[in-house]
Structure formats: structure tokens, C-alpha cells
A and B are shown apart, each in its own frame.
Chain A
Amino acid sequence: NAGVTQTPKFQVLKTGQSMTLQCAQDMNHNSMYWYRQDPGMGLRLIYYSASEGTTDKGEVPNGYNVSRLNKREFSLRLESAAPSQTSVYFCATSGVTDTQYFGPGTRLTVL
């Protein structure tokens, strides 16, 4: 029972490159979330998916796209990476309560 897994753990991109961050959960939760965490800014919601087949924008969606592939998987795509997207990205899930369970994170650096 792995909980919430994220790949990759680390990534370095050049400005303009694209990449997809993967998230998978085995908790049978309906809702999934993508956050970014920056020093002094706390956790900010990028996109979320309340259930399979639905996605919605969060607080900071610009420059990102998401796909809820199935109940288990929720991916975050950067189409044209910018240095401002250097951050630590966390995926989270929640079930019948509002408590969220987080993955280990992906550290992304955009040069």
C-alpha cells in the first residue's frame, strides 16, 4: 500500500521545455490535487479533480494543464516551462472527509 506516489522526484528543465509530472494513488479516493510550494508562499493549489472525469482551476493555474487519466492517476503538464515555475510540486488526494494525503513531492528547477 504505497499511498500517493509521484514521479519524477527531481527534474531540471531549460526554459521552453515541456514535461509531465505523474501522480498515482491506491487509496481509492475520488478527489486529487496539485499544489506548488515556494518559500514564504505556503502551499498553493494549481488544479484539482473532485472526481474522475472532472478538473477545475485552483489559485495558480496559469502555465499548467492537467489530466485525470482514471480514478488512480492525475498528471500535471508544463507545456513551456519558465523559471517562475521552479518549485516543489505536491500531489494530494482526499476521500469522504476534507483531509488530504500528500505525496513525497517533485523538485523542479527551470533554468
Chain B
Amino acid sequence: QKEVEQDPGPLSVPEGAIVSLNCTYSNSAFQYFMWYRQYSRKGPELLMYTYSSGNKEDGRFTAQVDKSSKYISLFIRDSQPSDSATYLCAMSAAGGTSYGKLTFGQGTILTVHP
């Protein structure tokens, strides 16, 4: 079993839809949670960063972390065609030899069609 599981999709939605992207994980030591967006033939770019449980909002994007369920989500409101990309979740444990090392999900391919 992988430490981080992410449904690879693909996910296709109409413009304006609310998109929900999810990851589950098994390592209870994970404390830092990130979402990256990767456009085709480009490097991943950091989208959201959260520490421990709770919600974080940035414009149309909301990241949620539920450590009790080992489950994280990214919501995209009013989705746009420019949101079409692969979304990767990533997480890390705090301190020790794992400091700075991220464990990634497989990525979910999202297409928003006009």
C-alpha cells in the first residue's frame, strides 16, 4: 500500500463547476500538506500549503486537512478552463531525517471544458 493515495482521474467538469480533489495517507507523522498544480510539459508549482488540521482559503481555492481521518482535500470554486492541469498532493513529517522530504500522490488530471 502506498503512503499517499490519490485518484488519478481523469476528471472532466464544465466551466463554473465546483471541483473536489482528494488524497488519503497512512503515515500519522505527516504534519505539512501541500497541493501542487502541474500544467502539461511544465514543472509542478506550489498552490496551497497547510500545517496540521484545518482549512485554508486562497481565492477560488480551499485546502482542507482532516488528520483524524488521514484525508486532505482541495476545492476549486467557479472552475475555469485555465484550471485544467494535473493536481498533486504532497506531505511531509516534521523534523528529523525526513525534514524537507515530500511524499507525493500520483496526481489527478483535471479538465475544465467551456
- Taking the complex as formed, is A104 at the interface, i.e. its CB lies under 8 A from any CB of chain B? yes
Query: Quick one: which of B1-57 are within 8 Å of A by CB?
Result: 6, 8, 32, 34, 36, 41-46, 49
A99, B34: Cβ atoms under 8 Å?
yes
Interface residues of B (CB under 8 A from A): 6, 8, 32, 34, 36, 41-46, 49, 88, 90, 92, 99-102, 104-107
Given A42-B88, A43-B88, A98 and B104 contact (CB-CB distance below 8 Å): no
> Which partner residue on chain B sits nearest A6 by CB separation?
B43
A98 with B32: in contact, given A31-B100, A42-B106, A43-B88 (CB under 8 Å)?
A: yes
Q: Which residues of A contact B34 (CB under 8 A)?
A: 98-99
Q: Which of A4, A98, A103, A104 contacts B102 (CB 8 A)?
A: A98
Q: Which of A31-60 contact B (CB under 8 A)?
A: 31, 33, 40-43, 45, 48, 50, 58
How many angstroms from the CA of A104 to the CA of B101 in the assembled complex? 19
Closest chain B residue to A30 by CB distance? B100
